[in-house]
Structure 1
Amino acid sequence: MSLTPQYLSGNDIRALFLDFYTQRGHELLPSASLVPEDPTVLLTIAGMLPFKPIFLGQRTPDFKRATTSQKCIRTNDIENVGRTKRHHTFFEMLGNFSFGDYFKEQAIAWGWELSTQVFRLPPERLVVSVFEEDDEAFGIWRDKIGVNEKRIKRMGADENFWVSGPTGPCGPCSEIHYDFHPELGEDNIDLEDDSRFIEFYNLVFMQYNRDASENLTPLQNKNIDTGMGLERMAQILQNKPNNYETDLIFPIIETAAKVAKIDYHHSDEDTKVSLKVIGDHIRSVVHMIADEIRASNVGRGYVLRRLIRRVVRHGRLIGICEEFINQVAERAISLSESVYPNLRQREASIKAELQREEANFLKTLDRGEKLLAEIIQEVKQKGLTSMSGKSAFTLYDTYGFPLELTQEVAEENNLTVDVDGFNAEMQKQVERAKAAHETIDLTVQGSLDKLVEHIHTTEFIGYTAAATTAKVEVLLVGGISEETAEAGREVQIVLDRTPFYAESGGQIGDKGYISGDGVLVRVEEVKKESDFFVHFGHIESGTLRIGDNVKAQINTAYRRRSQANHTATHLLQAALKKVVDEGISQAGSLVSFDRLRFDFNCPRALTSEEVQQIEELVNTWISEAHSAKIEVLPLAEAKARGAVAMFGEKYGNEVRVIEFPGVSMELCGGTHVNNTGEIGVFKIISEAGVSSGIRRIEAVSGAAILDYLNVRDKVVNDLSDRLKVKPEEIPDRIRTLQTELRNSEKEIQTLKSQLAIVKSDSLLKTAKTVAEHRIIVAQMEDVDAESLKAAAERLLQTIGNGAVVLASIPEAGKVSIVAAFSSEVNKKGVEAGKFVGAIARICSGGGGGKPNLAQAGGRDASKLPQALETAKTELEESLK
């Protein structure tokens, strides 16, 4: 008797899967964070990723079997999201894992039992695939399970050999597919036909590790890694045409459709795609922010920003022009909070981040879309089919318009984008940025790679010594290995030991000298590459040779400055947590000889009072002379003691802990003062935003304070001379000048408005009477928006009952439109705000306002005559 699949909710499917394997001796584990421990990937992309160290034999598990429902994010196929039935950026992978315990036969037997007996999938609707060389798996399916040979397909490595990435654990796999149309028979089955088949369960027989040269090495233990797509199983059991219409996603889509005032089922295909994109991406972004990922322009922060911007963009495509993401996000949170309670716990942070990003990008869209429309129009007029990379880069660099969105809009207009040209422009910018600050390059790295087997790693003694004798291990000139180098050459030197701190953790490298028998090298900067410290310097005199015994001496004055600034950043972070919010964390830093910079996560600007409190608190700690306590501890112990780690930073098993008891405790490899009193004094120079949700404080401390005060003093004296006042009178004098300037600007605007009113008087003779109303629709020359408004109000006042629509082109290509309607016209159902907005759209613009007075703008001045003619016709029709 054939089984009949029963309807199950997404939550039911998840619970049944986990219960099935828990009852079979599997440890039930919670989903890991979307921020993986594995430094080789940005985001958690598979259910097995948290177990990768176990599969590789790097960690001994506390259990032999485990089962999870792992939240995952992949963006490699983002262009297919919403367009296919089952591509997603966010999905849940149900998995069962064996760490050297059971293997192929047991995994296959349980997979079949779960599918056919728990989820009641008819066996005649299931087809399995195996790796073409895996005779063992083929035999198990045929002989042990009893699957007809015709429904077992051998497939190549692309389909049935699973890899976690370019390197890492891997092995042959066997997949279970559901057949939506078994009536088509068992001959010539094509599993790539996604209109007939859906792969819902992948059993990976993890038995190899693949290295960078693609060599396969057997793992210490044979392991099982399986993955069942929750969304795919929901599609099957809920009998839906695609994953998006299941109860896991469709309520989110319905919420977005309600905001847009549309019906999903009665929408065209493009609208459905946009709604699906919104439904998918919203799930991704709420989970990413809940796992403490914040939007930025790099790494996983860029993935988050890109997804949010795609949501906004697709909202715009279906007619949503205002902020809406949080309405949809609330539905996503409510759907998943019973399984992932951190969504509701971090609701405020999620919604604050989404609101900021959405508001900022709406402004970006307004600016970028205008320029993009102009570029597309120009490309089409020239008869081209591709937009230049330079134009795409201008949109990105000047307006923050992502390349991916430029490509999407271009595609909608049947155009492509020269991505190679875009990348070339991006590279030029990178090179310009590096021009003033040379960094270790691939040539240097390549030379080190060739020499690595013949030289010692650098021993760093700079925490306790300012000078040491050392041996020259590597001598590079222009990145090329040389035996000798003479005076006048720029060189890169690797010593067997060094007191020079190498640039790391935001702290720049030391300066100083390397000297020997008749040779002197001025060291300008030091960088660390792998375990080698590379000293970049200039040979002042003599000749340097490989194998020379030399003296390495840091500039202690510079070191005192940098370590004072570095300790000050620790005190600053502690003060921020105490004064503003305990949840503040570091997002980046720079510790230089003359200043310090500290970036931190904060959704708002600090008040002047908070800045003052922070500065005073840091200076209090300095004056209290707290002594440093420095220890090397196991990472777990350091965290247990409360040491602050930088979010997203990868640490080894042992870490260096810098503690100023009662004030600060952080994981840090930098150099620091022995006592906070050595800092002397601390002064905040500025506090500002650097990107959405990220603030920056710049400050100076110690001896650098004098340099800062000298510069300020020079500026004050210059202003005092120019304004002919004493330094303490400068603020009052500037306020007086600002008031005079504002008054002058008001007088100028008044004169402009009066001139426009005079010009408008000539339009009274063009007034046309419709029923009892008078209508004036006209274009005025050389009139700005404010003056146009004054003219329209004056004309309406003169004609009384009626409507006035005036337009002008205040600057090249730009359109300004004003509508002023009397109350009698409003009673006819004609409102200025709605009317002028519709007219402005003809000129590729928009706007609105009150029923009696409204303004709008446009960016296509060539359409203004058409817009005014339409305004005249519609007013006449409405008022007859």
Structure 2
Amino acid sequence: MTSEQQINNWPSGKVRSTFIEYFVSKDHTFYPSSSVVPHDDPTLLFANAGGKHNDLEDVGKDVYHHTFFEMLGNWSFGDYFKKDAISFAWELLTKVYKLPEDRLYVTYFGGDSSQNLPADTDAKQLWIDIGLPENRVLPFGTKENFWEMGEVGPCGPCSEIHFDRIGNRDASNLVNLDDPDVLEIWNLVFMQYNRESPTELKPLPNSHIDTGMGFERLVSVLQNKRSNYDTDVFVPIFEAIQEKSGIRPYTGKVGSDDLDGIDMAYRVIADHVRTLLFAISDGAIPSNEGRGYVVRRILRRGARYARKKMLVELGNFFPSLIDVVVQQMKDVFPEINKRVDFIKQTLQNEEISFARTLDRGEKLFDATLTKMRESNQHVVPGAEVWKLYDTFGFPVDLTRIMAEENGVEIDEAEFETEKNKSKELSKKKKNGSSNSDQVGLDVHAIALLESQMKIPKTNDVFKYSDSEINSKILAIYSNKSFVESQSLTNGASSEEGHIFGILLDETNFYSESGGQEWDTGYLLSLDQESQFNVLQVKNFGGYVLHIGSLKYGNLKVGQSVLSCYDVARRLALCSNHTSTHILNHSLRNILDSSELDQRGSLVSADKLRFDFSFNGQISPEQIKDIEYKCKKVIEDDLEIFSMDVPLHESKEINGLRAVFGETYPNPVRVVSVGQNIHDLRKDPKNEAWLGFSIELCGGTHVQRTKEISDFIITEEASISKGIRRIVAVTGPEAREVSDAYLETQKKLDQLSNFSGSKLESEIKIMGKLLDNVNAGAYNKHMLRQQFNQIRNNFIEADKISKALASKFAIDMVNQAFEANPDVSYHVIKIEFEDSLKGNSGKALANAIAHVKSINSKAVYLISPDAVSGKVSHLCYVPKNLVSSGLHANKWAESVSGVIGGKFGGKSESAQGSGTNVDAVSEAENIAASFANLVISD
């Protein structure tokens, strides 16, 4: 069979669908692909199916590493274990895909004495029993065959299935040696332990199966290609790359055979464009931290190869490749087809930005290389590498590539030292977490509750209604174990302040979920002798844990308590959560963007925060309109409806919104602002429903919108490319913001009462006030507009005033010169009008400058200001008169002796400020007499 016939026999789409159909036939439930962005787990940057190592720097160097790949998997949560998992894998590979049995090799966990872990002989024997010769069932150590994702959590031994592309040989000695012709295609993980610490493992309550098969590798095997990149998964992308770049065709060379590095560039770009398409589609927008920075790194790495190796002008290269990948994948992943324009715009913006960063980074690195060569160094200082990243945003992996290209190494130890220094500085700026964050139920505690203690999951239906209910304590969790009681004796003991958890049969407390913060409150014994302050509430697999400390008394398992949440805090949370829904709906109406999707939210007692995708600026007038629409809904006093609805039915409701990437239960709670849900269900396609906020939500809400009282947007800004954030307040906080606006408006209006230097001083004070006042985003914009107008008017008037004052002073000098052209000196008193006094200082200086330009006479200017009680005086003496003995500083000293104050200067010019306005006439006479006496002599 020819290679082309092989591709036609097993096109990638058929490979995928065959896998799914096989396991569905084995009573498995099919689940569509989840998002690559784990929206429900902020600790994980991306869904990391099957890989725990950073492969980014390896992608492109060989023909099998990827940053994005499809994982075909089957799972069992206690239904079956090793025997069935192995049987399914063998049957699918050899009977369905019809892979030659003699080319398959399997590994198993050979044990680890350092961790007291025995070899997985069960798995070994099962493979032998199914028909594999023992010489093709190979033992390996912890690194290869013990699967765990992190320092703690579920883990276990695994069996990897490897395939020999060549055949007709014994390839057992090539397994796990990164030979491209002997590759792992499937990993069967046997979850039977929980990692408690680096040195402690405990058996899980139930054993599970978690398998992952590399789709691209399987396709390459079935299509008889020696590289993933030679299959129909990548060939169309390569063709698009060649078309857009004009570079030579892909030839599949690696390492030293790839002389010009173009084949590696092909692989890097093709791999990275797939990653970028799915990551951005699923909500990971390029940014400077977290998953956003990973996306940025991937794009920048690909962009550098495009420019360096393919001589592509950056700006629209990656966007031009998106269509071909969408065309390949949209039938299987329809969500990517909904955001194509947004993805292209995001990539274009990022490419343009990186073009500048790349230029700067390469220049700085070249400068470092030059310095190294001058001093005969061959190691790039780690501090320089960190600076490139930390100061200039140049990715470290690109610096490593440039170092490799130039035959030098990086001082990695120094780099790590600099990075750690930066981290420590960053930590000092952040507050530590509260003790309540340290209390939680782990997998063993939950298993104990379920299997041994037989404690039912918490009934939390009352969180939507009653502020006080009677509950029974079912368990007390303290110091990572369940205890029968906790107590305080006479208000003080070693337990005072101790944080622990309480499980109730029923609760009205809301546990942290869906962006909404938890309730606080207290549990009170029925005899009122004991009180437990609830600081935090969390849900662990259906068990709602009330975390806090005893205020007084004692509590024990089986005791009845009154559960009371903080009503004021709850009302604030309800108000802000309902307002989040109203804001979401208003945004879609005002901005009218099909790309607008929720990207996160926070509902706390003092504010709400809403992140959403929007590729553009939002004008102040749009903020005003959004805010007004929200206020209008509040003023209309609409009723809030909620109801549990079958998930499939809820999705039929016209205009219903769900959080992007969220997983919902069935049935799901629908929350509608202003429209009865019974009507929605009767006529789900009604166009009228688009006029209402309808969302899937498990949070708490007000009963009617008027309870919200008010709504003010306090902040609106971009938090990353294509993602904007709105922060808003309601209720009392909104009133505080409104009061701050009115008070600031009052102060701004009062500026009209000032003029001159006083107005200038007040403008500076007002400017600082506006920088810090929380008056609402739109109102603050309007205040700023008014302030800018006042300031601009002042600046313009000040310019005119300064010009008039200067003209007035210069005119007086000219008049004196014209009236007495033959004298060698003049003493001139200048009295400014009130409107010009604020600029008298500058005017006198300009007048003296005018005198200097003439340079023929000595001049003394004296200007009194009765209001301030100050006398300004300046003088100038040309050189010919200085030689005659008239020194400006001595002249000023004689005047200062009469009017007081300070003075200073040199022989040609001097100035001073006196404090005796009444002595101005005497000062004029003293100045004239002093000059006359010196010049006459």
Q: TM-score under structure 1 normalisation?
A: 0.63
Counterpart of 1:748 in structure 2 is: none
Q: Does the 8 A contact of 1:470 with 1:496 survive in 2? A: no
Counterpart of 2:585 in structure 1 is: 574
Counterpart of 1:597 in structure 2 is: 609
Find the aligned partners of 1:31 and 1:549 in 2 and give their Cα distance: 45
Find the aligned partners of 2:433 and 2:144 in 1 and give their Cα distance: 47
Counterpart of 1:14 in structure 2 is: 12
Counterpart of 2:264 in structure 1 is: 273
Amino acid paired to 1:276: R
C-alpha spacing 1:421/1:260, structure 2 compared with 1 (3 Å): farther
Give the alignment of 1:111-150 within 5 angstroms: 111-112=93-94, 126=103, 128-129=105-106, 131=108, 133=121, 134-138=124-128, 140-141=130-131
Does residue 528 of the first structure (1) align with residue 526 of the second (2)?
no
Does residue 415 of the first structure (1) align with residue 428 of the second (2)?
no
Find the aligned partners of 2:741 and 2:358 in 1 and give their Cα distance: 40
Find the aligned partners of 1:85 and 1:189 in 2 and give their Cα distance: 21
Q: Does the 8 A contact of 2:56 with 2:67 survive in 1? A: yes
Counterpart of 2:434 in structure 1 is: 439
Identity rate, percent? 25
Give the alignment of 1:177-576 within 5 angstroms: 177-179=164-166, 186=170, 189-192=173-176, 194-195=178-179, 197-199=181-183, 201-202=185-186, 204=188, 209-212=192-195, 227=213, 229-231=215-217, 233-234=219-220, 237=223, 242-253=227-238, 255-256=240-241, 262-263=247-248, 268=259, 270-291=261-282, 294-295=285-286, 303-318=294-309, 319-320=311-312, 322-323=314-315, 324-336=317-329, 343-344=336-337, 346-365=339-358, 385=379, 387-388=381-382, 399-405=392-398, 407-409=400-402, 413-418=408-413, 420-421=416-417, 424-425=420-421, 427-428=423-424, 431-435=427-431, 438-440=433-435, 443-445=438-440, 463-466=464-467, 483=488, 486=492, 492=499, 494=501, 504-509=513-518, 526-528=536-538, 530=540, 531-535=544-548, 556-576=567-587
Find the aligned partners of 1:135 and 1:626 in 2 and give their Cα distance: 67
C-alpha spacing 1:456/1:286, structure 2 compared with 1 (3 Å): closer
Amino acid paired to 2:410: L
Identify which of 622, 632, 645 aligns with 2:658: 645
Q: Does the 8 A contact of 1:97 with 1:226 survive in 2? A: no
- Structure 1: unaligned runs, 5 residues or longer: 47-71, 744-880
Find the aligned partners of 1:399 and 1:474 in 2 and give their Cα distance: 52
Counterpart of 2:762 in structure 1 is: none
Does residue 703 of the first structure (1) align with residue 732 of the second (2)?
yes
Find the aligned partners of 1:97 and 1:521 in 2 and give their Cα distance: 45
> What SS does the corresponding residue of 1:703 show, helix, strand or coil?
helix
Identify which of 631, 634, 640 aligns with 1:622: 634
Counterpart of 1:762 in structure 2 is: none
C-alpha spacing 1:115/1:623, structure 2 compared with 1 (3 Å): closer
Shift of 1:247: 4.7
Q: Does the 8 A contact of 1:162 with 1:171 survive in 2? A: yes
Counterpart of 1:843 in structure 2 is: none
Amino acid paired to 1:274: A
Does residue 631 of the first structure (1) align with residue 643 of the second (2)?
yes
Find the aligned partners of 1:96 and 1:445 in 2 and give their Cα distance: 30
Amino acid paired to 1:570: H
Residues 628-679 of structure 1, C-alpha deviations (whole Å, 9 max, x = no match): 2233556555555575332234455565443323332334344322110122
C-alpha spacing 1:178/1:432, structure 2 compared with 1 (3 Å): same
Counterpart of 1:826 in structure 2 is: none
Counterpart of 2:931 in structure 1 is: none
C-alpha spacing 1:702/1:416, structure 2 compared with 1 (3 Å): same
Does residue 733 of the first structure (1) align with residue 790 of the second (2)?
yes
Q: Which has the greater radius of gyration?
A: 2
Counterpart of 2:863 in structure 1 is: none
Amino acid paired to 1:613: D
Counterpart of 1:78 in structure 2 is: 56
Residues 824-856 of structure 1, C-alpha deviations (whole Å, 9 max, x = no match): xxxxxxxxxxxxxxxxxxxxxxxxxxxxxxxxx
Shift of 1:415: 0.1
Find the aligned partners of 1:674 and 1:526 in 2 and give their Cα distance: 25
Higher mean alpha-carbon deviation, 480-489 vs 226-235, is at: 480-489
Amino acid paired to 1:439: S
C-alpha spacing 1:395/1:476, structure 2 compared with 1 (3 Å): farther
Counterpart of 2:679 in structure 1 is: none
Shift of 1:482: 7.8
Shift of 1:626: 1.2
Counterpart of 2:764 in structure 1 is: none
> What SS does the corresponding residue of 1:687 show, helix, strand or coil?
strand
C-alpha spacing 1:344/1:433, structure 2 compared with 1 (3 Å): same
Q: Does the 8 A contact of 1:202 with 1:227 survive in 2? A: yes
Residues 91-143 of structure 1, C-alpha deviations (whole Å, 9 max, x = no match): 34578999979876686466346666xx8x7x88x35345484345346546x
Find the aligned partners of 1:680 and 1:533 in 2 and give their Cα distance: 31
Give the alignment of 1:626-775 within 5 angstroms: 626-632=638-644, 638-639=650-651, 641=653, 644-652=657-665, 655-662=668-675, 663-721=692-750, 724=754, 730-736=787-793
Find the aligned partners of 1:370 and 1:167 in 2 and give their Cα distance: 47
Find the aligned partners of 2:388 and 2:532 in 1 and give their Cα distance: 43
Higher mean alpha-carbon deviation, 619-628 vs 298-307, is at: 298-307
> What SS does the corresponding residue of 2:93 show, helix, strand or coil?
helix
Shift of 1:691: 1.0
Amino acid paired to 2:105: V
Find the aligned partners of 2:180 and 2:385 in 1 and give their Cα distance: 40
Residues 515-535 of structure 1, C-alpha deviations (whole Å, 9 max, x = no match): 899999997954537432334
C-alpha spacing 1:16/1:442, structure 2 compared with 1 (3 Å): closer
Find the aligned partners of 2:71 and 2:738 in 1 and give their Cα distance: 59
Q: Does the 8 A contact of 1:559 with 1:593 survive in 2? A: yes
C-alpha spacing 1:565/1:127, structure 2 compared with 1 (3 Å): closer
> What SS does the corresponding residue of 1:352 show, helix, strand or coil?
helix
Amino acid paired to 2:183: E
Higher mean alpha-carbon deviation, 276-285 vs 157-166, is at: 157-166
Does residue 87 of the first structure (1) align with residue 65 of the second (2)?
yes
Shift of 1:690: 1.1
C-alpha spacing 1:589/1:430, structure 2 compared with 1 (3 Å): farther
Identify which of 586, 589, 592 aligns with 2:598: 586
C-alpha spacing 1:387/1:267, structure 2 compared with 1 (3 Å): same
Counterpart of 2:140 in structure 1 is: 156
- Structure 2: unaligned runs, 5 residues or longer: 111-120, 252-256, 676-691, 760-782, 801-937
Shift of 1:694: 1.0
Find the aligned partners of 2:370 and 2:436 in 1 and give their Cα distance: 42
Find the aligned partners of 2:283 and 2:444 in 1 and give their Cα distance: 37
Residues 257-300 of structure 1, C-alpha deviations (whole Å, 9 max, x = no match): 66556436596354543332112111222234445554456765
Shift of 1:359: 3.4
C-alpha spacing 1:676/1:315, structure 2 compared with 1 (3 Å): same
C-alpha spacing 1:35/1:640, structure 2 compared with 1 (3 Å): farther
Q: Does the 8 A contact of 2:220 with 2:230 survive in 1? A: no
C-alpha spacing 1:620/1:18, structure 2 compared with 1 (3 Å): closer
Find the aligned partners of 1:553 and 1:114 in 2 and give their Cα distance: 60
Shift of 1:82: 0.9
Q: Does the 8 A contact of 1:21 with 1:96 survive in 2? A: no
Find the aligned partners of 1:644 and 1:162 in 2 and give their Cα distance: 42
Q: Does the 8 A contact of 2:647 with 2:666 survive in 1? A: yes
How many residue pairs end up in the alignment?
Answer: 693
